[in-house]
Amino acid sequence: MDNPIDIREEGGVRYLHFGTDWVQGAMRLRNPHALELPYTREMMAGLLMRDAPWPRRVLSIGLGAGSLAKFIHARLPEAAHTVVEIEPRVVAIAHSCFQLPREDDRLRIHLADGLDFIAQTDESWDLILLDAYDHDVRPGPLNAIAFYTALRERLGDTGLLSVNLFNRSRRYDSTIARIGYAFDQRSLAFASADQGNFIAFAATGQPVEVSATELRARAEEVHMATGLDLRPTVKRLIESNPATGDRLAL
């Protein structure tokens, strides 16, 4: 990445930009471990889909400002987290400007291309978080059926893939179709509270079968345990899965 990386602050929030006005990450200075941007909160909605304690093993492709890494490290103490980031400057800035913790027995950071890392690993994860874009906000080869299929093969029996979708033209149908194809249509997508973003989930292994009532109860439990408020997300999850009625099924 030859483009500049910019740090800006406004209203008590520090923002990360890759040389454009598009926000690549954010941290509220008074609450650095919280998920400031709505789409990052909604990427963690898998916590409503699987029984606690879940996930035990998490993989993130794309670090950004380190928001998800900080949240998982601080609020999900039973989870071991591997982060893959291609740009060393992003890792350095996440440490120096966004309070990303140093590596320990629960947090590992690999400087690598996500494609190469997945092709070379034989590890498996419960949750894979995919939020990787270049300076022009393009996912490039990470938005391919072959890559989504490779991710599916790296998920365990309670595996979920969570993807942040961003497109300047706000057209997501082709990407959602690729994810659905790779996961045998065990997928859903919904518009994020962030303007312009969609969140997609895909499942493998054990079915996801959760009633709306149980989703709301789990959202309350997650809020109490971690401070993460997924209660507004429940309605969008149910509406993204209309064929199953008043429940979530994947």
What does the pLDDT look like over 6-64, one tens digit per residue?
899 999 999 998 766 678 889 999 999 999 999 999 999 999 999 989 999 999 999 99
Say if strands 209-211 and 57-61 run parallel, antiparallel, or are unpaired: unpaired
Residue 75 per-residue DSSP state: H
The answer to whether 68 touches 43, Cβ cutoff 8 Å, is yes
Q: Is the pLDDT of residue 167 over 70?
A: no
**CA dist list (Å): 110 to 113, 186, 217, 245:** 9, 29, 36, 41
Average pLDDT in the chain: 90
| Residue type for position 86 | I
Query: What SS3 state is found at 85?
Result: strand
Q: CA-CA distance, 139 to 39, in Å (whole number)?
A: 16
Query: Residue 133: its pLDDT value, please?
Result: 63
Q: Write down the pLDDT at residue 169.
A: 44
Asked whether 229 and 193 are in contact (CB, 8 A), the reply is no
At a CB cut-off of 8 Å and minimum separation 6, what does 31 contact? none
What is the pLDDT averaged over residues 215-226? 96
pLDDT confidence tier of residue 161, bands split at 50, 70 and 90: very high
Residue type, 37: L
> What pLDDT sits at residue 139?
53
Sequence-distant (6+) residues with CB within 8 A of 38 are: 192, 193, 194, 197
What is the C-alpha to C-alpha distance for residues 245 and 85, in angstroms, rounded to an integer?
39
With CA atoms as reference, report the closest residue to 153 among 187, 204, 199, 110: 204
Q: Quick: pLDDT tens for 134-143.
A: 444 455 677 8
State the Cα angle at 69 between 203 and 4, rounded to 5°.
110
pLDDT greater than 90 at residue 200: yes
Q: What is the pLDDT of residue 168?
A: 46
Output the pTM of the full model: 0.93
pLDDT digits (tens, 9 = 90+) for 170-180: 668 888 999 99
Q: How far is CA 138 from the centre of its chain?
A: 16
Question: Which residue ranges make up each domain of the chain?
Answer: 36-249
Bigger pLDDT: 218 or 139? 218
- Which CATH number is correct for 36-249, 3.40.50.2300, 3.40.50.150, 3.40.50.1370, 3.40.50.10320? 3.40.50.150
The set of catalytic residues is 131
Residue 3 has a pLDDT of 73
Q: Which residues contact 243 (CB under 8 A, 6 or more apart)?
A: none
- Indicate whether 210 pLDDT > 80: yes
